[in-house]
Chain A
């Protein structure tokens, strides 16, 4: 055990050294940028951060909100901080290149292993999303994002010395996911930054994108951007291909099932949701609803304004619904399914040994069982007859759960249409409103089932094993 850990550290030392060196260089670059801003603005404290943010014409950087501490307003302080970080990462690079990269302390590993699971990751991500959403004015400040990025690199670098963690993250199908997470974080941040800026300047100034109404010729301006883009993408792909070559495993063998058998990475999210609902819903109905729902978006969104610029204030509901569905039901389940789930699809921490001995969670109760045995204190009615009698018995047994389901999909839309979503119903008309609400309720049904499973160990709302119908 000790030797494999030592071996992992020895193997990772050199690549980690180069990684830290790259981070160090990026911090130097950031320091230079922050420093250059002061040089351009003469003396450091440019205090005039009024209600209208100023756009630095040279860097395109907007000044931070007024309420932030001096650190975010004073360029020289930031430059100093990034220099300090560069020095720290330079030191780490030197240590790694000499063969002893920094590691994560055992106590923290044990703590993280204990804390991390499907539930904590999902709920934690939801909390993070909510915090970023509410605190977006602070999150879009480049210095805040840069510190978060540095912290993530430090944690990633230190964790990679752990044999379990590096096997997990450097697995062939994991690397694209890690790349996607960073890309997604960056681009969502970029979008949020422009949205906050547009919302802030809404009353006084035109949105960012309409500042340049004049036209330019595609040759050379756009064609050259495309050419450079193609070259950069090809170079990046060649580097990826060189550093993370395609694995070839043992020849296909239908008799030898791997444990766990995972779907292709972009479908792992659906596979993860299989824990909370059956395959007919998660594997068939939900994907179809996603595709149809996405196609329906332009016809459901009745707000004709704000076409062609980033904004949150004017499209609060649309943005929130989209981000929730996209991040919480696609991205985060992919992360859970890839990094948390091990053999038997049970939870493992990122530094834990993934032995196949740990068994999956056992299915919990159904709503009908709660109703009949829990609430009424009677045994669950049996469906023993045939034909119509059997149908009646099944419906009688599931009457409580069917009532709950009917009120969810039929009564709730009507209630919402009369209260919270009144404007939606009035402006969209009956048909479009019904379609939107059913899609939304379907999107919310999965998280509801997750929470019911976690909090009350309730596995099914409706359970009719006679027809293989479980919901």
Chain B
């Protein structure tokens, strides 16, 4: 006796979603194991991992904001050209012609919120001592992710190319010029003389020019849209992987 042919609809559905409906225990376990988006989670967790009073949910929110920033950011990229000639005009168009300034508002608020949530997440992890063995290195990755978050927000500041863009970036990058020995104005810059003349000081490396200009805009655009997000995404994956492997911290 041959197996009865499954109906086409069932076959189609099964080809996409492998697991049974998560109605009873077996299905609920299978959905966590079989679904790509959900497999970052373990199948079961201690109940305290659900207590919002304990976790504050800040790590999850930060990750979600990273996704939101990626989506809104990609949409914004369709309307934006990173050149001195066009950047500001594209901003005006985005506001007045395309009428998608909500995207930009959302992207900006998401960025602020991401800085705040990443910081709060770190505060929580510190105050619960969750960085202790065996999670030491995941804390180190977390610190790297914090710096990348700040770098993402910082590079994004320049892109609208208005007065609120270039001056904060100028102020912050001036500090890099004061690096000891290698900076153009730092202590002991006379000795190495790596400064602005050879374009090797950190400020020139960051800006691509002695001061904020066309080269900076291009550099920050590439950093903001490609380099830093890729690195942050990679580190986030490692960060999650290790949380998944080590489990959430619990009292000894």
Contacts and interface: CB of A to CB of B under 8 A. Distances in A.
B132 A304 contact: yes
Nearest to B250: A308
Contacts of A258: 163, 167
Interface stretch (A147-155, A221-229, A350-358): A221-229
Contacts of B57: 225-226, 229
Nearest to A188: B123
A194 B127 CA distance: 11
Nearest to A271: B171
Contact of A225 (B50, B120, B137, B165): B50
B86 to A, nearest CB: 11
A180 B58 CA distance: 13
A209 B136 contact: no
A319 B178 contact: no
B20 interface: no
Given A307-B129, A468-B188, A190 B167 contact: no
B161 to A, nearest CB: 5
Contacts of B128: 307-310
Interface in B21-54: 22, 25, 28-29, 31-32, 38, 41-54
Nearest to A241: B105
Contact of A279 (B22, B84, B174, B250): B174
B190 interface: yes
B154 interface: yes
A307 B68 CA distance: 32
B236 interface: no
Contacts of A267: 150, 154, 168, 171-172
Contacts of A388: none
Contacts of A240: 105, 109
Contact of B95 (A214, A219, A221, A248): A248
Interface in B58-74: 60-61, 64-65, 68
A252 B250 CA distance: 51
A278 interface: yes
Nearest to A278: B178
Contacts of B95: 248
A364 B236 CA distance: 47
- Interface residues of chain A: helix, strand, loop or mixed (majority): helix
Contact of B88 (A179, A180, A245, A251): A251
Given A209-B54, A291-B147, A469-B187, A218 B64 contact: no
Given A206-B251, A307-B252, A263 B168 contact: yes
Interface string B95-122: 1000001101110111011011001101
A210 B212 contact: no
Contacts of B46: 212-216
A280 B129 contact: no
Given A187-B120, A283-B175, A261 B167 contact: yes
A184 B122 CA distance: 12
Contact of A307 (B116, B132, B147): B132
A233 interface: yes
A-side interface size class: 35 or more
A152 B39 CA distance: 44
Contacts of A252: 84, 88, 161-163, 165-166, 212
Contacts of A213: 46-47
A280 B189 CA distance: 11
Interface in A301-327: 301, 303-311, 315, 318-319, 322, 326
Given A261-B171, A308-B128, A209 B164 contact: no
Given A237-B109, A261-B171, A280 B186 contact: yes
B240 interface: no
B171 A249 contact: no
Contact of A222 (B45, B68, B127, B150): B45
B162 A467 contact: no
A188 B84 CA distance: 44
Nearest to B132: A307
Interface stretch (A36-44, A292-300, A371-379, A411-419): A292-300
A240 B92 CA distance: 21
B79 interface: no
A49 interface: no
A283 B176 contact: yes
Given A308-B130, A467-B190, A237 B171 contact: no
Contacts of B47: 212-216
A130 interface: no
A464 B51 CA distance: 55
Interface in B131-162: 131-133, 135-137, 139-140, 143-144, 146-147, 150, 153-154, 157, 160-162
Interface of B: 22, 25, 28-29, 31-32, 38, 41-54, 56-57, 60-61, 64-65, 68, 84, 88, 91-92, 95, 101-102, 104-106, 108-110, 112-113, 115-116, 119-120, 122-124, 126-133, 135-137, 139-140, 143-144, 146-147, 150, 153-154, 157, 160-172, 174-180, 183, 185-190, 202, 211-213, 248-252
Given A251-B162, A468-B188, 4 more contacts: A229-B61, A244-B105, A245-B101, A297-B126
23 contacts: A176-B116, A183-B120, A222-B50, A226-B60, A234-B68, A237-B68, A240-B105, A248-B162, A249-B162, A252-B212, A253-B166, A261-B170, A279-B174, A280-B187, A284-B186, A291-B143, A295-B140, A299-B136, A303-B132, A309-B250, A310-B54, A322-B127, A469-B187
